[in-house]
Amino acid sequence: MNQRPLILVTNDDGITAPGIRTLIEVMNTIGDVVVVAPDSPQSAMGHAITINSTLYCSEMKKVDGPQKEYQCSGTPADCVKLAINELLDRKPDLCVSGVNHGSNSSINVVYSGTMSAAIEAGIEGIPAIGFSLLDYSWNADFTPIKPFIEKIVRAALENKQRPDVVLNVNFPALAEDRIKGIRICRQAKANWVEKFDKRQSPLGRDYYWLTGEFINEDKGQDTDEWALKEGYVSVVPTQFDLTAHHAIQELNNWNFEK
């Protein structure tokens, strides 16, 4: 008898977030699920790991499925490391992270705890996917994207997704019948123009609140930002090898002996 795939589920919004509950629900229809997620929100943590303080992890009571669930005091990357090295009795066939409340398209992938958890799984040799919905509300409606999550996960398992290519999936906040389909994209060249709102506490101490404006100057029709604007689900293959291979030859022509 074929063994059901083992799927590790994590996120950065915390184990009680509606996004991860949606992801768990869909994964329970596909495989055996183990959840290891932060016990509190860890958004924009990037690939931070805990090295100077203790980590706590405790098993939770089952909520909405047959899966095992653990809450961890660490970052999303910590959760994946702990799951693989301490909590699981076999290597997962897939790690899914999310569904994030808010966009992780274009440059946002660099800061994302959601994607960093998926990338950590990829580093460990596990195929991984990060899912995000372009709605920051805690009460966002995840129902329309459930069929697309299932399609993407089943395709990843059936096609034996490479662990060194992590999928960054973003969903437009639209009704199911308005989502046009799935597009494979490149990451748009876009960035945040940031500002700091300087304020004062009642005790007279200065503090700063980060604000900013998202600027997309990439006019390509093959980018994640274009696809999302047009009503498509964007899927960007990402990698954790950060080498700028195209620059190696140029650097070899530099004279370092001056």
pLDDT digits (tens, 9 = 90+) for 204-232: 999 998 888 888 888 999 999 999 999 99
Q: How far apart are CA 186 and CA 106, in angstroms?
A: 8
**Contact present, 57 and 39 (Cβ < 8 Å):** no
Which residues face 59 on adjacent strands? 70
Q: Of 84, 75, 71, whose CA–CA distance to 36 is shortest?
A: 71
Supply the pLDDT for residue 64: 62
Give residue 11's pLDDT band: very low, low, confident or very high (50, 70, 90). Answer: very high
Which residues face 132 on adjacent strands? 100, 170
Residues shown for the chain: 258
Average pLDDT over residues 154-174: 97
Give residue 192's pLDDT band: very low, low, confident or very high (50, 70, 90). Answer: confident
> Chain-centre distance of CA 178, in angstroms?
24
Strand bridging mode 181-184 / 190-200: unpaired
Query: Looking at the domain 6-189+220-252, which fold is it?
Result: Stationary-phase Survival Protein Sure Homolog; Chain: A, (3.40.1210)
- Average pLDDT, whole number, for the chain? 93
Supply the pLDDT for residue 215: 86
Domain boundaries, the chain: 6-189+220-252
